[in-house]
Amino acid sequence: MALFPFCKASSAGPIRVSRIQLVLCCFLLSLIIYYLHGSRAAARVHPAHPIFHPLEMDRGRKVTDMEVLKGAESQTPAETPWGAPLVWGDSRHSASCRAKFAQREMRIGLLVFVVGTYARFIRRFLYSAETYFLPGQVVTYYILTDNPRPLDPPVKLGPEREMKVVPIVEVPGWERLAHRRMTLLGDAIQKSIDSETDYIFCADVDQEFVAPVRAEILGDLVATLHPELYGMPRNAFPYEDDEGSSAYVEEDEGDFYYTSEFYGGAVSEMYKLARACSLLILQDHADGITARGLEESYLNRYLIDQRPTCVLSPEYSWWDSDLSAQVPVHRLLSLGRQCESYNDKQREHKC
């Protein structure tokens, strides 16, 4: 049987075909070429993101040749499984959110702990926040510190910006501070922040704003995705696995893993978070238990029970690491964790 039955040779002479027969022949040929090419493309798979390799998860593989646009969109989803926005600063949703909040008068607080050797970061943090953190908005910086001298002379602030220094008792060692930060946050909200701001955000002071962070971050309860665990499977998340801990997370719980570098929300919601986490920490302390991720473990436990209404992409907490996700823009850079990553690689870097 001929491959193309419409194209037959005549004994009387060369092949003669009508226009319709020629079109049908070409159509059949194109179908065969498409099929063969599609089979080869579908058979090619690429290894998953390099983030899987260190955790021996490179068995997860995905097809990337087909539906390229769909694959690209899946890397930057617009919302969480429960319908909360997943914020990317340059998205249409963020633009509409900024337009909505532009019509409202808001007061925003940015709170940092400045203790011990971390005092060396405060001026750099404030200068970067003045440039990039909610420009044009009314912002109060709350500096909870055991030593106000690094703030002298005062940092010059822009219009509608002010700084309030809240003295706290010296807390030597980061681990001890991590056990007290939630209690100190709750106390600060109760004493003054509650009546002075509409939203409050907590940030580690060893960070630097490097691109605009605007009103798209505002929400009732706001959490930020951990950049080294974004896109990872659930079983890679370092949730607390000690069943005796108040921060314990069961195997079927949890959607994302959040960083403690930057989180916030409406003042009333942040007070609930701070009080709940501080009680969990105190309970574990009484039982002689220390969660593996310190404060971050309790934060993640709370955010499983009370899902965030707004989730920030790793653009809002990023550092240079072999494991960190590739994101379009870096907006808030963690100097401390980046230095840890550099030290692990034995790179020469001034921190």
Residue 267: burial class (beta carbons within 10 Å; 0-12, 13-18, 19+): buried
Structural tokens at position 124: 């750099």
305 marked as part of a ligand binding site: no
320 marked as part of a ligand binding site: yes
205 marked as part of a ligand binding site: yes
Query: On the CB side of 230, how many CA atoms lie within 13 Å of its CA?
Result: 27
Q: How distant is the alpha carbon of residue 164 from its chain centre?
A: 28
DSSP string, 170-237: ---SHHHHHHHHHHHHHHHIIIIIHHH-SEEEEE-SSEEE-S-B-GGG-SSEEEEE-TTTTT--GGGS
User: At residue 166, what are phi and psi to the nearest 5 degrees?
Assistant: -115, 110
296 marked as part of a ligand binding site: yes
End-to-end CA distance of the chain: 76
Residue 277: burial class (beta carbons within 10 Å; 0-12, 13-18, 19+): buried
In terms of Cα–Cα distance, which of 316, 320, 324, 325 is closest to 340? 320
Type and span of the H or E element at 33: helix 19-43
Residue in 296, 315, 340, 348 annotated catalytic: 296
327 marked as part of a ligand binding site: no
206 marked as part of a ligand binding site: yes
114 marked as part of a ligand binding site: yes
Structural tokens at position 113: 């702990």
118 marked as part of a ligand binding site: yes
348 is catalytic: no
For residue 10, the cross-strand partners are 13
In terms of Cα–Cα distance, which of 156, 142, 144, 131 is closest to 199? 142
Q: Which residues are annotated as a binding site for Mn(2+)?
A: 204, 206
Q: Which residues are annotated as a binding site for UDP-N-acetyl-alpha-D-galactosamine?
A: 113-115, 118, 204-206
- Catalytic residue numbers, as ranges: 296
Q: Which residues are annotated as a binding site?
A: 113-115, 118, 204-206, 226, 296, 320
